[in-house]
Amino acid sequence: MILGHAQEEVVEAITQAAARGTSYGAPTEAESRLAEQIIEAVPSIEKVRLVNSGTEATMSALRVARGATGRNKVIKFSGNYHGHVDSLLVAAGSAAATLGAPDSPGVTPGAAADTIVLSYNDVSGLQNAFAQQGDEIAAVILEPVVGNMGCVVPTMEFLQTMRDLTSQHGSILIFDEVMTGFRVAFGGAQERFGITPDMTTLGKIVGGGMPLGAYGGRKDIMDQVLPAGKVFQAGTLSGNPVAVAAGSTTLDILKKSPPYEALEKMGERLAAGLSSAASDAGIPHTVARVGSMMTLFFNPDPVTCWDQADRCDRDAFGRYFWGLIGEGVYMPCSQFEALFFSRLHDEAIIDETIDAARKTLAAF
Ligand code: PMP
């Protein structure tokens, strides 16, 4: 909720849309307008499809990538979460990691057989996978800044290597920007890092708090989707007029008055404050941050991949979380979820948060 909850203009747009009708089972002008806003904002997206969630976006993007390349295998990274898509619910982050079910029961060996799991930021792992089976790899999907094993920042070498290898081998590079899209920059992590993937998935901010996701990319790839091509994807409620109204208005506001510089400044302030609170309490920690997305890891070493995230002191995180609740601050409820804040979190609120963390950590 980058604009905060119940933002006036967003609520007004939702109300007006709902008063006209909540579902038509057909495309609308408003849906096309949101598509145009997305295309204008996100460098990799020349054509886009709206769906109902981040999960649908990644599921559909994979199908299109496989259909477009005629290949089956997909590379994902441990600790990255792409929704509850069967083939991606392997070594998953987020709640799956927190609750000890990174490979969910109910996912058949067949559904996961074509998923290759590599370690995040591991350049040689990528090189080996492509050297061994590059011509069978349909796609590489990743969170270009991870939010789902806590905030983990990619190295430029990692991103550039995967861009080069996927191009050389005719594989499709998919940035899952469900979290980072319109968050770490208006055009997402791809704008921030200057690396353009072939396809992108979106959710969360793009729906302004309503159930909406999107996937898109290069025109020639998206032209594989029915009716232009043969890859099937459809949805009764996709492009839902109420969700589109919320998303479209949110993007209008973000474009008209970009909050990104302010978010960066507040992010810097919060990260420095949390880190000094932990240092003063003598607690081994590391903070990772990109813009308004960050994590205080109860881990003395930098967290660059899942194996390192897994070494965090989960009990310490639990005490930190509940201590902050006692102080009236609601942090993400897992070490493996990044923290976000909105443009309404001003200096006073950020400082209150730091004070609450300081009190909590001092009492450890
Ligand atoms: N991809 C990423 C990077 C996500 O963070 C999430 C949700 N946390 C999803 C996909 C799935 O989105 P949804 O929950 O809307 O299905």
Q: Which domain holds residue 313?
A: 260-362
> Average pLDDT, whole number, for the chain?
97
Residue 46 is assigned to a structural domain of this protein: yes
121: left (phi over 0), alpha (psi -120 to 50) or beta: left
> What's the gap in Å between 178 CA and the centre of ligand 1?
6
How, if at all, do strands 286-290 and 73-77 pair? unpaired
> Does 192 lie in the same domain as 153?
yes
The candidate with the shortest Cα–Cα distance to 214, out of 88, 52, 10, 14, is 52
Say if CB 141 and CB 88 are below 8 A apart: yes
- Which atom belonging to ligand 1 lies closest to the Cα atom of 213? 15
Residue 278 is assigned to a structural domain of this protein: yes
- pLDDT at position 304 is 98
- pLDDT of 144 above 80: yes
pLDDT band at 104 (very low <50, low <70, confident <90, very high): confident
Coil, helix or strand for 288?
strand
Residue 92 is assigned to a structural domain of this protein: yes
> Does 270 lie in the same domain as 191?
no
Domain count, the chain: 2
| 117 beta partners | 76
Asked if the ipTM is above 0.95, the reply is yes
What is the CATH classification number for the domain harbouring 93?
A: 3.40.640.10
Residue 3 is assigned to a structural domain of this protein: no
Q: Show the tokens assigned to 176.
A: 């899952």
How, if at all, do strands 115-118 and 137-142 pair? unpaired
Active site amino acids? 81, 176, 204
The candidate with the shortest Cα–Cα distance to 288, out of 122, 119, 148, is 148
> What's the gap in Å between 61 CA and the centre of ligand 1?
13
- pLDDT at position 134 is 96
What is the CATH classification number for the domain harbouring 283?
A: 3.90.1150.10
Residue 340 is assigned to a structural domain of this protein: yes
Give the mean pLDDT of 127-152. Answer: 98
Read off the pLDDT of residues 41-79 as tens digits, 9 standing for 90 and up. Answer: 999 999 999 999 999 999 999 999 999 999 999 999 999
> Does 160 lie in the same domain as 36?
yes
Residue 206 is assigned to a structural domain of this protein: yes
| 289 beta partners | 294
Domain boundary among 256, 273, 293: 256
**Which residues are CB-contacts of 334 (< 8 A; sequence separation ≥ 6)?**
94, 95, 97, 98, 317
> Does 80 lie in the same domain as 162?
yes
Q: Show the tokens assigned to 8.
A: 């006036």
- Which atom belonging to ligand 1 lies closest to the Cα atom of 94? 8
Domain boundary among 236, 256, 276: 256
> What's the gap in Å between 348 CA and the centre of ligand 1?
30
Residue 1 is assigned to a structural domain of this protein: no
- pLDDT of 123 above 90: yes
Task: Give 3-state DSSP helix, strand, coil % of the chain, rounded to 5.
Answer: 45, 15, 40
**Planar angle of CA 203, 18, 41, nearest 5 degrees:** 35
> Does 264 lie in the same domain as 147?
no
- Ligand 1 probe mutation, 50, 55, 87, 237, most atoms within 8 A of CB: 55
> Does 320 lie in the same domain as 180?
no
Read off the pLDDT of residues 247-295 as tens digits, 9 standing for 90 and up. Answer: 999 999 999 999 999 999 999 999 999 999 999 999 999 999 999 999 9
> Does 264 lie in the same domain as 153?
no
Q: How far apart are CA 40 and CA 66, in angstroms?
A: 26
> Does 215 lie in the same domain as 174?
yes
- pLDDT at position 94 is 81
Residue ID of nearest Cα to ligand 1 atom 7:
83
Instruction: List, as one string, the DSSP characters of 174-229.
Output: EEE-TTTBTTTBTTHHHHHHT---SEEEE-GGGGTTSS-EEEEE-HHHHTTBTTTS
- pLDDT at position 95 is 82
> Does 350 lie in the same domain as 248?
no
Please indicate whether residue 178, judged by its CB atom, sits closer than 6 Å to ligand 1.
yes
Please report, as a single letter, which amino acid is at residue 340.
F
> Does 264 lie in the same domain as 205?
no
Read off the pLDDT of residues 173-218 as tens digits, 9 standing for 90 and up. Answer: 999 999 999 999 999 999 999 999 999 999 999 999 999 999 999 9
Domain boundary among 214, 240, 256: 256
Percent of the chain with pLDDT over 70: 100
Q: Is 28 exposed, middle or buried (0-12, 13-18, 19+ CB in 10 A)?
A: middle
- pLDDT of 101 above 80: no
> Does 199 lie in the same domain as 301?
no
Residue 2 is assigned to a structural domain of this protein: no
Read off the pLDDT of residues 17-33 as tens digits, 9 standing for 90 and up. Answer: 999 999 998 999 999 99
- pLDDT at position 152 is 98
> Does 266 lie in the same domain as 215?
no
- pLDDT of 232 above 90: yes
Percent of the chain with pLDDT over 90: 95
